[in-house]
Amino acid sequence: MKAAIIEQPGILTVKEIPTPQVGEYDALCALLYGATCTGTDQHLIAGRFPWPVRYPTILGHESVGRVVEVGAKVRYFKVGDLITRVGAPPVGEYSVNWGGFAEYGIAKDHRAMQEDGLDRSQWGGYRVNQVIPPGIDPAGATMFITWRETLSYLTRMDVGEGARVLVVGSGGNGLSFAAHAANVGAAQVVVLGNAEREGAARQVGATGYVDYRAADAAAQLTGFCSDGFDFIIDAVGLAASADAVLPYLKRGGTLGIYGIDDYAAIHLNPLRARGTFTFYNGGYDEAETHERVVALVQAGKLDAGVWLDLAHPFALDDIGAAFDAVRARQMVKAVVRLSSTD
């Protein structure tokens, strides 16, 4: 089968590797589509991922697959199911991060493994393998990964009805945070981002937008919320991006840094704040919000078409062009067709 492999930082290729073997708790999936991730994928390709990486490595963590074969002890997946977050396992010299840009991958029946008494270390990481109900477009379903992560993060921050929220960043994550804030009933959702993304932000529910390059950006932010925002979410994570917006957080407000652009070099001067504030560092649990995301999609409150050009997916062989298009800001995220099975 084919897989997208980062040979070493800066070199992304597509190669033939062995098709995964099916274990007793495994579901072999024909991977249908994968979406690019500006944060994780781009940092892995550039050699700037904040955590250790062993190259060469199989790329991709936002892929969706259709079950074609199940192991003897699988009880909660069946042939034909659409599964999220499927990836190829390590093989030979190739590690995985997380192996989603391939023609086939493995999902594990984590519920059966838990019920059978296996140690959590063997199944905990596979809770992200969840079934998507019939009727949801497989290409659009690649957005589930981003939507689940960001919804979990926002929920754990306690963003809710009536909140005033500032989102820093207008990429896939920033737009997701804006959409979730709007969907939970936030009274004000302001995005600080690139001018060309204002339309997309408004479409997902942003009530205000500020071009970060604007000379009067500071005045605009103050005008939106003179006594400060209840929550600020930095979806970019540049060294100084959170520090730059700290003065717009209200006394007693909460700031969270989700982005990883300058993960090891972020600095924050608390004396720039209006007063005592909370720094959110509770992370997220992607699996915990799966059913909520399903419900939001079925209700028409999350539309993958805002993030992805679903009518024009890239071929796996052209995955380099997909990342080039994202870097050039031609699209928020690119969708890659991984196999012909649908």
Domains of the chain: 2-139+308-337 (3.90.180.10), 148-280 (3.40.50.720)
Average pLDDT on 14-34 reads 98
Average pLDDT on 27-39 reads 96
Amino acid found at 60? G
Say whether pLDDT at 16 is over 90.
Answer: yes
- 3-class DSSP state for residue 87? strand
Q: How far apart are CA 168 and CA 299, in angstroms?
A: 27
Supply 70's token pair. 């199940």
Q: CB burial class (10 A; 0-12, 13-18, 19+) of residue 131? A: middle
**Strand boundaries in the chain, DSSP class E:** 2-8, 11-16, 26-35, 57-59, 63-70, 82-84, 95-97, 104-108, 131-132, 164-168, 188-193, 208-211, 229-234, 249-257, 278-280, 314-315, 335-337
Average pLDDT on 113-131 reads 98
Give the tens place of pLDDT for each residue, 252-269: 999 999 999 999 999 999
- Please state, for a pLDDT cut of 70, what percent of the chain lies above it: 99
DSSP per position, 321-341: HHHHHHHTTS-SS-EEE--S-
Instruction: Give Cα 33 distance to the centre of its chain.
Output: 15
Q: How far apart are CA 249 and CA 272, in angstroms?
A: 10
Give the model's pLDDT for residue 38.
Answer: 85
Q: How far apart are CA 159 and CA 143, in angstroms?
A: 21
Average pLDDT on 243-248 reads 98
Mean pLDDT, all residues of the chain:
97
The pTM score is 0.97
Contact criterion met (CB below 8 Å) for 256 and 280: yes
Give the tens place of pLDDT for each residue, 72-116: 999 999 999 999 999 999 999 999 999 999 999 999 999 999 999
Q: CB burial class (10 A; 0-12, 13-18, 19+) of residue 8? A: exposed
Average pLDDT on 196-222 reads 97
**Strand boundaries in 9-149, DSSP class E:** 11-16, 26-35, 57-59, 63-70, 82-84, 95-97, 104-108, 131-132
Average pLDDT on 212-221 reads 97
Per DSSP, what are the bridge partners of residue 191? 167, 209
Per-residue confidence at 341, pLDDT binned at 50, 70, 90?
low
Give the model's pLDDT for residue 12.
Answer: 98
Say whether pLDDT at 339 is over 90.
Answer: no
Give the model's pLDDT for residue 241.
Answer: 98
Q: Residue written as tokens 């009727």?
A: 135
Say whether pLDDT at 342 is over 70.
Answer: no
Give the tens place of pLDDT for each residue, 287-335: 999 999 999 999 999 999 999 999 999 999 999 999 999 999 999 999 9
